[in-house]
Amino acid sequence: MCLRPDGTLLQLLKSAAMKTMHYLIILISFTSFTGCEKEEKKSTDPAGWFLAGNAPKEFKIGVDDQNSIQGAKSGFIESITDTLSGFGTMMQVCSEKDFKGKRVKMTGYIQLLGSEYTYALMWIRVDDFDKRVTADFDNMAERPIIGTRYWTKCEIVFDVPESPCVVNYGIILEGVGKAWFDNVSFDTVSNSTFKTAYYLNEAFSDDYQIWQDLPENPVNLDFEE
């Protein structure tokens, strides 16, 4: 990991955490499904995944059949301009069906190629439609992946209410570079397991409704499809 000449690792991580706080504001202000812009799906996009963010036109997503931590393929998100004005995310949404009333651990592996100003973060957001609030949220703001890193294991532990929910999740990339994502999984864990996500209790717009064709389950988490 590279450090600024006048900085320390702690200062850099604090700076990264402060920088990523704007993700919190953007990612919780979803309307019909997200406050982020969504790009039209392309034939080269990984099955089940789509590109969004506050600057999706500055990124692309795809499948890499030469680089993976397990299996033959991984997914990636990559900047396509040298002057970025925001972030991109490769993401999915699904219902609470597999997770209803449970504590869940999301695990994924990220590889990052970039500079000290390039950040990759795995994220989760649970929207509770009984209370019409964003419930649990974690975007790894206090533990970002920075610069150039080989495959790194990431974990998020969150709770899902019993009520109808939309579960949003994926990988964020900010800065010039490329991030690979692979071997994502969701596992039920004990309620004694430490929770990394926190309950936001942030109301969302009345315009935000559950999709009629909302997928019931996560799909293509290993990017092999």
Spans of all domains in the chain: 9-203
The pTM score is 0.84
For the CA atoms of 10, 11, 17, 18, what is the dihedral angle to 10 degrees? 160
State yes or no: pLDDT of 206 exceeds 80. Answer: yes
In this prediction, residue 37 has a pLDDT band, given cuts at 50, 70 and 90, of: low
The fold of the 9-203 domain, in CATH, is: Jelly Rolls (2.60.120)
pLDDT of residue 178: 98
pLDDT of residue 35: 47
Q: With b meaning 16 or more CB within 10 Å and e meaning fewer, what string describes 60-69?
A: bbbbbeeebb
In this prediction, residue 39 has a pLDDT band, given cuts at 50, 70 and 90, of: low
More confident residue, 54 or 24: 54
State yes or no: pLDDT of 195 exceeds 70. Answer: yes
